[in-house]
Amino acid sequence: MASANIGGGSSGRRKSLDAEINLVPFIDLLSMCICFLLMTAVWVQLGSVQVKQANGTEGAAEAKDTLDLDVKFLAENQVTLSVKSKGRVVKTYQVQGATMADLATAFEKQVQDIQAQMKSQGEISAVMLTPKAGVSYGSMISIMDVLRKNRLVNLGVVPVNPLSGG
């Protein structure tokens, strides 16, 4: 048991104050806390990547001063980036990497370069992703993650027929 001797050693008359802290209820409380927290703990942290899908005429093109970005998958580790202004392609870049991680790194660098170069012409307002047969959903999310990290959060996905081969 935890105890603390508080003075009272010199004088024979004075009664020593030997205070003892009873640790048993403290341990009980800690055990209950641990049980509760372990039972309510969330071990897998989930998040979401929001995508806006336009319906029919909702996405009607209107003249605007902002830029759009088209990201088209050519293969699992190869994409084409097209910068569009008022619906017309201004510049096209091709990015590839040996692995998906390499592609994500190269893609991030390219997006940052585009953002720096096109700053005078306006900000990139929307990004459309075109998937391709043979490219996994995980790879698409990796590219979306890079875009979101670079403040490009207005994302859309072009519906592609899986049987058409993209």
Partner 1 sequence: MQVGTQALRPNVFAKHLVARSHSTKKNRRTILAALSLTSMVDMFSLLVIFLLQTFSTSPELLVMTKGVQLPVASSGAEITDAPILAIAQDEIFLDQKSVGTVVDVLKDPKGLLAQLQVFRENWSKAHPNEKFKGEINLQAHKDVPSTVISQIMGVLPSQQYGSIQLIVTSGGS
Q: Which residues contact 148 (CB under 8 A, 6 or more apart)?
A: 49, 155
Q: Which two tokens stand for residue 132?
A: 């391709």
Instruction: Give the CA angle between residues 89, 94, 96 to the nearest 5°.
Output: 155
When the beta carbons of 114 and 143 are compared against partner 1, the nearer one is 143
| Region for 65 from its dihedrals, namely left if φ exceeds 0, alpha if ψ lies in -120 to 50, beta otherwise | alpha
DSSP letter, residue 145 = H
Q: Is 58 in the site for partner 1 (CB under 8 A)?
A: yes
Q: Is 136 in the site for partner 1 (CB under 8 A)?
A: yes
Q: What residues between 144 and 163 interact with partner 1 by CB under 8 A? A: 144-145, 148-149, 157-162
Question: In the set 1, 19, 61, 116, which binds partner 1 (CB under 8 A)?
Answer: 1
Q: What residues between 80 and 109 interact with partner 1 by CB under 8 A? A: none
Torsion angle of the four alpha carbons 46, 49, 55, 61, in this order, in degrees rounded to the nearest 10: 170
Question: In the set 30, 75, 89, 109, which binds partner 1 (CB under 8 A)?
Answer: 30
Minimum distance from residue 103 beta carbon to partner 1 (Å): 14
Q: How far is 99 from 125, CA to CA, in rounded Å?
A: 28
Minimum distance from residue 88 beta carbon to partner 1 (Å): 24
The residue range among 42-50, 82-90, 91-99, 119-127 that interacts with partner 1, by the rule CB under 8 A, is: 42-50
Q: How far is 4 from 7, CA to CA, in rounded Å?
A: 9
Q: Which residues bind partner 1 (CB under 8 A)?
A: 1-3, 20, 22-23, 26-27, 30-31, 33-34, 37-38, 40-42, 44-56, 58, 73, 131-142, 144-145, 148-149, 157-162, 166
